[in-house]
Amino acid sequence: MKINIALVISIIIAVGLVAFGFTAFQISSEREQLNSELQVKTIRVAEEFYKNNLAHLATDDSTQIQITDSAIGRYNFLGMAAYYHADSIITINKETATYLPHSTDYIARALSADSSLSNKINVNGKKVYQYIRLVKRQNLPAMAIVFYTDAEYIENIINSIWLRNFLRWFLQALVISVVTLLIVRWGILNPLNKVIEWVKAARTGNIEQWKTKPRNTFLAPLYREISGIAQAMQEAKAIAQEEARLRTSAESIWTPERLNEEMKQVLQNKKLIVVSNREPYMHIRAGKEIQCIRPASGMVTALEPILKACGGLWIASGSGDADRDTVDENDKVLVPPSEGKYTLRRVWLTKEEENHFYYGFSNEGLWPLCHIAHTRPTFRIEDWEYYKKVNAIYAEAVVKEIKDEEEPFILVQDYHFALLPFLIKQQRPDAKVALFWHIPWPNPESFGICPWQKELLNGMLGADLIGFHTQYHCNNFLETVNDSLESRVLWENFSVKIGNHFTLVKPFPISIAFTFKDYDSNGEIRPSPQELLKQHGINAEYMAVGVERIDYTKGLIEKCLSVERFLDKNPEYLGKFTLVQIGAVSRALLKTYSDTVSAVEAEINRINWKFKAKNWQPILFLKKHHSHEEITPFYRSANLCMVTSLHDGMNLVAKEFIAARDHNDGVLVLSRFAGASQELHGALIVNPYDIEQTADAIKTALEMPIEQQTQKMKRLRRMIMNHNVYSWAADILRAMASIQN
Ligand code: G6P
C-alpha cells in the first residue's frame, strides 16, 4: 500500500513539474505575444484616432478638446487624457481620472525622453494598457495624449491557459497513476508476491508449495537466481538440521565408552568370553623378526573392537608360526600388542586336528553347505570325528576358564563350533551361551544333505541365543530345526524348545566400529585414483576396488568378467579404468581354494592380455595379505567398490568401504546375495551372475553425479553409524542377559 501511495505521489509531482514547466514557458511566450499585439494594436488605433481627431493639437495652442466618451468607445479605448502639464490635464471620462494618477510618472518620463511610450499598468487590480503619445507643438512645450485600453483580457487568456493546463496535468497524472498502479499490481507485485510466497515456502520447509514453482517470464531470471539460493539454503538447512540431529543423538550412538558402561550394567561383574577358531592376532615369523598381524576375517573385524572396548577373554586357535613364542605359561597374551586391552588365550591344535576340523569338516563341509555357491560340500567321517573332538577341546578350555565364575557370558563364533554351546551348557548350565553364525544358513533341503545335521542342530540349540545376520537366515534355521528335530519351534517369538530348554533365534546384523567421531571427520587429503594407480605403474583415471579373501563364494571370476564386459561395451574407458583387486590367500591347502586362486589369476591374465596397453591394464591383482592401513587408501580413493559375493552372511568389506568415504562420495556396487544388501540402501545392488547387469552398474557408478553419490553415501554412513558393531554387541549381550536359565 505504502509503495502505491508513494508511486502515485511521485507520478503527480513528476507530471506536475513537467506540466508546470511547459505551462510557464507557454504563458510567458503567450503573454509576450499578446502584449506585443496589444501594443501594436493600441499604437495603431491611437495613431489613427490622433490623426482623425487630435492632429490639430500640434499646431494650435488650445487647451480645449472636443472628444466625447462615445468617440473613444468606438475606438475601444477605456479612457483618454490630454496632458499639457501637471496642472493642466484634460480627462475624457471618469475611468480616465482613476487611471491618470498611475500614469503621471510615466508621462513625465516620455516628455523628458521626448518620445512616445507605452506600457501596462495596474489600476486597482485591473490591467490597463497606456499609450503616451507625445505631441510636439510649435513654440509650445510638448504635450502628451494618454490612451488607455483594456489589457485585462490578456490576464483572462493567461488564466484560462493555466486552468486548461492544470486540468490536463490532473487528467494525465490520474491516467498515468492508474495505468502505473495496474502495471505495478498485475505485472510486478502479483508475480513478486508469488515469488515471495514461494521463497517463504522454501524457508519454512513447505515442500508442496515449494515444488509448484511460480510461472513468470518477466521474473524468470530473478526466480532462477532465488531458486539457486533457496536450493542452497534448503540443502544447508537440511545438512544443519541433520548435523544438529546427529549431534544431539550422538550420545545415543554407540561408542566404545558407552558399550563399556553398558557391559558393566549388563554383565554385573560376570566374565565375558569370546570363542572363535580364528584368532584376532597372529604372530608370524618374518626372517628373524616376529610380526603381529590381523588376519583377513570379517568375524575378527567385527569382534575385535568390542573386546578392545570392554576387555575380556578371547579363546582361539593359535595358528601363527610364532604364536607359541609369544604366550605366557597359560597360553595367554595381552593384545593388541602395544595396548594390551584384553587377553587372547590360544588353543593348540595338532596338524591332524587342524586338517580335519578346520580344513575338512568346517571348510569343506559346513562352509560350502551353508554358502549356495555351487561348490559341493564334502563330508568325511574322520573330519566329523575331529570336528567333535576339537569342539570338546574348546569346551574344556572354556570350562576351565570359567571354573570360578558365576553365570559367565560365553559368545561362541561361527560354524566351527556348532557343538560347543551344548558341550558348555552340559557342564555349566548357569552360563549364558550365545552362538553367532557369521555365514548364511541355507534352506532345510540344502542343509539336509549333511549326514550329521541333527547332531549339529542339537549342539547349536544348547545355546540360549543363536544369532544370524538376517531374519531370512533365522527362518531357514528354524525351518531346518522344524523339519529335522523333535522340538517345538515357537514362531511367535522365534525360539525353539527342546525339553525344558529354550533357544532364542534372532537376527543381529553385524557391523564395524564406526562412530560419530568417524562420521564427523572432515575428509582429509587423499590421493586421486590416478596417483594411487601410478604407484603401481598404471596410468588410469578411474579406479574400482575389491577386497576379498580369495574364496569361491566371493564371485571374483564374475567380477572380472563384468569388468571385461564393461570395457567391451564402453571402449571409451579403455586405458582409463582399472579394478584393483586386493586378495588375501585363504585356506590355501584346500584344492577348491588353490583352484580358485589359479582360476582367478588365469581370468585376470586373460583379460589383461586382451586389453593391455602401454602403462595400463584393466585389473591389478594384489595377491597378498594387506593390513587395514594398507587397504584404507584404496577404499578412500576409489571411485567405486565392487562386492560381488555369490553368497555371503553379511560382508563387512561393503561397510568398511563406506566408513572410509569421509568425502561422502564414491559408489558401492553390492551383490544382492550378501546380507549387507538388506541394510545398505543406497548401494547399486546387482546379481553377480548377471555379468551384463554388473558391467552396467560399473558404468552407472562411474557416471553417477556427485550430488547423488553424496546423498547416497551420507545415508549409508549414517546407517552404519546408527548400527555399528558396538550397538550389535549391546543388543546381543542384552538379549543374553534377559534370558533366564
Ligand atoms: C568368514 C568366517 C570367519 C572366518 C573368516 C576367515 O568370515 O565367517 O569365521 O574367520 O571367514 O576365514 P578363515 O578360515 O581364514 O578364518
pLDDT tens digits for range 254-269: 999 999 999 999 999 9
**Segment 322-347 mean pLDDT:** 97
677, 683 contact by CB (below 8 A):
yes
Q: Please, what is the end-to-end C-alpha distance for the chain in angstroms?
A: 80
Q: Which atom of ligand 1 is nearest to 298's Cα?
A: 7
The closest alpha carbon to 538, from 584, 581, 580, belongs to: 580
Of residues 67 and 668, more confidently modeled: 668
Does 651 contact ligand 1 (Cβ within 6 A)? no
473, 435 contact by CB (below 8 A):
no
259, 306 contact by CB (below 8 A):
yes
| pLDDT range class, residue 691, cuts 50, 70, 90 | very high
Ligand 1 center to residue 680 CA distance, Å?
A: 22
**Segment 99-118 mean pLDDT:** 91
Of residues 137 and 469, more confidently modeled: 469
Mutate to test the pocket of ligand 1, among 297, 511, 590 (most ligand atoms within 8 A of CB): 297
Does 278 contact ligand 1 (Cβ within 6 A)? yes
406, 441 contact by CB (below 8 A):
no
| pLDDT range class, residue 173, cuts 50, 70, 90 | confident
| pLDDT range class, residue 433, cuts 50, 70, 90 | very high
| pLDDT range class, residue 75, cuts 50, 70, 90 | confident
Q: Ligand 1: which residue has its CA nearest to atom 8?
A: 438
| pLDDT range class, residue 384, cuts 50, 70, 90 | very high
Query: How far apart are the C-alpha atoms of 281 and 336, rounded to whole Å?
Result: 7
**Segment 522-526 mean pLDDT:** 86
C-alpha grid cell, residue 249: 543423538
Q: Ligand 1: which residue has its CA nearest to atom 3?
A: 299
Q: Which atom of ligand 1 is nearest to 300's Cα?
A: 10
Does 297 contact ligand 1 (Cβ within 6 A)? yes
Phi, psi of 652 (to 5 degrees): -90, -10
The pLDDT of residue 70 is 84
Phi, psi of 356 (to 5 degrees): -85, -40
Category of 154 on φ-ψ map: left (φ > 0), alpha (ψ -120 to 50) or beta: alpha
In the chain, the amino acid numbered 504 is L
The pLDDT of residue 683 is 98
323 pLDDT more than 80: yes
82 pLDDT more than 80: yes
Of the listed ranges 40-54, 280-294, 410-424, 693-707, the one predicted with least confidence: 40-54
**Segment 297-304 mean pLDDT:** 96
> pLDDT (tens digit, 9 = 90+) per residue, 718-739?
999 999 999 999 999 999 999 8
The pLDDT of residue 699 is 98
> pLDDT (tens digit, 9 = 90+) per residue, 527-546?
999 999 999 999 999 999 99
Coil, helix or strand at residue 623:
strand
Does 299 contact ligand 1 (Cβ within 6 A)? yes
Ligand 1 center to residue 295 CA distance, Å?
A: 9
Does 439 contact ligand 1 (Cβ within 6 A)? yes
**Segment 504-509 mean pLDDT:** 98
43, 131 contact by CB (below 8 A):
yes
Coil, helix or strand at residue 204:
helix
434 pLDDT more than 70: yes
Q: Ligand 1: which residue has its CA nearest to atom 10?
A: 297
Ligand 1 center to residue 462 CA distance, Å?
A: 23
Query: What is the DSSP annotation of 719-730?
Result: HHHHT-HHHHHH
The pLDDT of residue 250 is 64
DSSP 501: E
Does 346 contact ligand 1 (Cβ within 6 A)? no
Where helices occur in 539-614 by DSSP H, the ranges are 556-569, 591-611
The pLDDT of residue 6 is 82
Does 118 contact ligand 1 (Cβ within 6 A)? no
The pLDDT of residue 189 is 79
Q: Ligand 1: which residue has its CA nearest to atom 12?
A: 297
Q: Ligand 1: which residue has its CA nearest to atom 15?
A: 586
Does 133 contact ligand 1 (Cβ within 6 A)? no
Q: Which atom of ligand 1 is nearest to 276's Cα?
A: 9
Own/partner long-range contacts of 91-100 (Cβ < 8 Å, ≥24 apart): 92/65, 92/67, 92/68, 93/69, 95/148, 96/146, 96/148, 98/123, 98/124, 99/123, 99/128, 99/130, 99/146, 99/148, 100/146
Radius of gyration of the chain (CA): 54
> pLDDT (tens digit, 9 = 90+) per residue, 650-678?
999 999 999 999 999 999 999 999 999 99
Phi, psi of 386 (to 5 degrees): -70, -35
Does 438 contact ligand 1 (Cβ within 6 A)? yes
212 pLDDT more than 80: no
Mutate to test the pocket of ligand 1, among 414, 597, 648 (most ligand atoms within 8 A of CB): 414
The pLDDT of residue 91 is 85
Q: Ligand 1: which residue has its CA nearest to atom 5?
A: 297
237 pLDDT more than 80: no
Does 317 contact ligand 1 (Cβ within 6 A)? no
The closest alpha carbon to 470, from 598, 636, 651, belongs to: 651
C-alpha grid cell, residue 142: 510638448
C-alpha grid cell, residue 307: 573386546
Q: Ligand 1: which residue has its CA nearest to atom 11?
A: 297
Ligand 1 center to residue 296 CA distance, Å?
A: 8
Mutate to test the pocket of ligand 1, among 364, 371, 417, 438 (most ligand atoms within 8 A of CB): 438
Q: Which atom of ligand 1 is nearest to 586's Cα?
A: 15
Ligand 1 center to residue 414 CA distance, Å?
A: 8
**Segment 342-364 mean pLDDT:** 98
15 pLDDT more than 90: no
Q: Work out the mean pLDDT of the chain and round it to a whole number.
A: 92
Of the listed ranges 219-223, 535-539, 561-565, 709-713, the one predicted with least confidence: 219-223
| pLDDT range class, residue 219, cuts 50, 70, 90 | confident
Residues listed for the chain: 741
The pLDDT of residue 235 is 67
Ligand 1 center to residue 233 CA distance, Å?
A: 48
211 pLDDT more than 70: no
The pLDDT of residue 216 is 64
**Segment 565-581 mean pLDDT:** 98
552, 586 contact by CB (below 8 A):
no
The pLDDT of residue 243 is 67
Other beta carbons within 10 Å of 22? 13
Does 306 contact ligand 1 (Cβ within 6 A)? no
693 pLDDT more than 90: yes
Does 587 contact ligand 1 (Cβ within 6 A)? yes
Helix (H) or strand (E) holding 441: none
> pLDDT (tens digit, 9 = 90+) per residue, 579-638?
999 999 999 999 999 999 999 999 999 999 999 899 999 999 999 999 999 999 999 999
249 pLDDT more than 70: no
Q: Which atom of ligand 1 is nearest to 649's Cα?
A: 8
| pLDDT range class, residue 242, cuts 50, 70, 90 | low
Of residues 481 and 58, more confidently modeled: 481
User: Can you tell me which residue has the cell 489589457?
Assistant: 151
